[in-house]
Amino acid sequence: MKKKLFVYPTDTVWGIGGSIFSKECYDKIALIKGHANKKPLSIVFQSFEMINEYINLPKEFSREWLNKFFEFESTIGVPKQWAKVDLPVWICQDSDYLTIRCMDTDELRPIFREVGGPITSTSLNLTKRPPIISLSDADDFFHKFMSNEYFSGQTETKCSGRSSTIVLYSNSGVQIVREGKYIEEIREHFKLLSTTFL
């Protein structure tokens, strides 16, 4: 299953991903979505503990702080040098950041078990087309473009249809790349770290 792609709902839109160590998965995503093979992908982890297995987090990133951050439909980018393991070049491509999310849902748990670790994540849609929000549209996309892969179904997670907030964090401070619904809550949350906004 480590070369298999997975379609699953997130708190914002439907996503597609696979093992972070599989170049075949990366190439299949690029082919399905119709984009160039130079696009970095986010990584979804199941838990704070799993993140710690792969990334050297600063002490201020406590379990409680990160778990609360991820409740705000958010993605955080950290310097790729913080990785504890040798990540494949296709994860970050030319970016200096590794972007991560954390979700522990009914739909994702069996996927994490099958893969044995974190998975890549990007929106389930053709490039330059709107992201997919509904179960029926996700099912249609799956059967049209990738019916030999894995479809999680939808039992727990509801897609809001909103864009997530993307934040880049480094020793220099915090940069907001994209603002989502909970941007003000996220700004307040970062104040707990006494960090600087760039």
Residue 19: count other Cβ atoms within 10 Å of its Cβ.
Answer: 24
Quickly state the pLDDT bin for 1 (edges 50, 70, 90): low
pTM equals 0.94
Asked if the structure places residue 179 within a domain, the reply is: no
Asked if the structure places residue 194 within a domain, the reply is: no
Asked if the structure places residue 51 within a domain, the reply is: yes
Which residue from 21, 14, 16 is spatially nearest to 5, judged by alpha carbons?
A: 16
Residues written for the chain: 198
| Number of folded domains that form the chain | 1
Which residue segment(s) compose the domain that 118 sits in? 6-71+78-159
Asked if the structure places residue 177 within a domain, the reply is: no
Output the domain CATH number for residue 147: 3.90.870.10
Residue range 110-120, pLDDT digits in tens? 999 999 999 99
Residue range 131-159, pLDDT digits in tens? 999 999 999 999 999 999 999 999 999 99
Asked if the structure places residue 92 within a domain, the reply is: yes
Asked if the structure places residue 167 within a domain, the reply is: no
| Pairing relationship of beta strands 150-151 and 173-178 according to DSSP bridges | unpaired
Residue range 33-75, pLDDT digits in tens? 998 778 999 999 999 999 999 999 999 999 999 999 999 999 9
Asked if the structure places residue 31 within a domain, the reply is: yes
Distance of CA 120 to the CA centre of its chain: 6
